[in-house]
Chain A
Amino acid sequence: MNAPTATIDWPEKLYGTLKRAGIRQVGYVPDAGHARLIDRCRADPDIHDVVLTTEEEGVALAAGAWLGGNRAVLLMQSSGVGNCINMLSLARSCRFPLLMMITMRGEWEEFNPWQQPMGSIVDPVLRLSEAEIYRATRPDEVEGLAERAVQHVFGDERIAALLLSQQLIGKKVWTK
């Protein structure tokens, strides 16, 4: 943690966006950058929070949710994008709406060099998978971009990813 959490309000804004969008299922592989949003979703009785063993499960979960009339979101860090690639074919072949919110690693003051290879190709890989990309680097733009991603996904049954840059999240501080 590199800043007092009380001063960071963009996770609250994201939660508000998800609620206004009527999101009922939240699949996630935990990430420190998503910790507060995950906490809010877990505490919400109107949201099914689904912890996943791998991110591709969340692509399938969201498809099933939509078949049943629920809107879903998939939360993950950038390394998880690589785990999703083939399963994204499900969303592409069937035009399932798929909303992803991705916390970025490996791009700004990254302590762990092993995060860089996947982090560096998240954007092109997602574009090749027909995802619309929205990248937030400042707290004040997170909500607006999230709203646009929601509209893109559920307005027309498409795929979109909101990338939450490492600059926005802050560098990971190692305590051990």
Chain B
Amino acid sequence: MSGLERRAAMAILLADRKNDLLVIPGLGSTCWDLAAAGDNDRNFYLWGAMGGAAMIGLGLALAQPDKRVLVVTGDGEMLMGLGSLATIGIKQPPNLAVVVFDNGHYGETGMQPSHTYKGGVDLLGVARSCGIATCLDVADEAALADLAARLKALSGPLFARLAIVIGDPPRVLPERDGTVLKARFRAAIGV
């Protein structure tokens, strides 16, 4: 299966990160990927809440219309919250991007195939059907660079599916006290 390496992809998406970018990862691998890219008070790491990452992103995006909100999650986490794409499609938040690192597997639990394995479920098709106009299929470096550029100036909800190669990079564990993560995030953006 061809595709991008997850840690390198996360680093490119967050290169030259500005303070108006707020990032919510899904639990598991994307959370470790985000921590590996460098800790930041404007990250809200998830150690649970499977299926909830995109909706946390929506609530945050509605509350902070002048900031950009990036949700980066895995295929398994997104599949558990597919309905949230419908909810986002109805609300059309202009400052929300949902990026799915798709390797077709549940990585944290022993690499069992997920519903997207071998092209089973087309997450881009789901997002498109939900009314998210900008849906990007990202499978090479050029497409990744294009996505990174688009994230710098969002103008409508964006969904991207990144083809990620199967790999097992070392875990990089961030802070896991939820009250600490919440408090530092709110302090960082001044609410």
Binding site for B on A (CB under 8 A): 24-25, 48, 50-54, 56-70, 72, 86-87, 89-90, 93-96
Contacts and interface: CB of A to CB of B under 8 A. Distances in A.
Nearest to B52: A60
A56 B59 CA distance: 13
A114 B138 CA distance: 46
B178 A50 contact: no
28 contacts: A24-B63, A48-B62, A50-B62, A50-B87, A52-B87, A53-B84, A57-B84, A60-B53, A60-B55, A60-B56, A60-B84, A61-B58, A64-B56, A64-B62, A65-B62, A66-B186, A67-B44, A67-B63, A68-B64, A69-B186, A69-B191, A70-B62, A86-B50, A87-B49, A89-B49, A90-B48, A94-B179, A96-B182
B55 A93 contact: no
A64 B87 contact: no
Contacts of B50: 86
B63 A25 contact: yes
Interface of B: 22, 24, 44, 47-53, 55-64, 67, 81, 83-84, 86-87, 90-91, 178-179, 181-182, 185-186, 189, 191
A60 B59 contact: yes
A89 B179 CA distance: 12
Given A61-B58, A63-B56, A68 B191 contact: yes
Contacts of B58: 50, 61, 64
Contacts of B90: 50-51
B73 to A, nearest CB: 12
A57 B87 contact: yes
A93 to B, nearest CB: 4
Given A25-B62, A51-B90, A94-B181, A68 B52 contact: no
Nearest to B93: A48
A90 B52 contact: yes
A54 B185 contact: no
B178 A68 contact: no
B51 A56 contact: yes
Given A53-B83, A69-B64, A95-B182, A63 B59 contact: yes
Among A24, A60, A66, A90, residue most surrounded by chain B Cβ atoms (within 10 Å): A60
A25 to B, nearest CB: 6
Contacts of B44: 67
A53 B181 CA distance: 28
Given A63-B56, A64-B24, 9 more contacts: A25-B59, A57-B55, A60-B55, A60-B59, A68-B63, A70-B62, A86-B50, A87-B52, A89-B49
B63 A64 contact: yes
A94 B53 CA distance: 14
From A24, A51, A93, A94, name the one whose CB has the most chain B CB atoms within 10 angstroms: A94
A66 B67 CA distance: 15
A127 B106 CA distance: 33
Contact of B59 (A51, A54, A70, A86): A70
Contacts of B48: 86, 89-90, 93
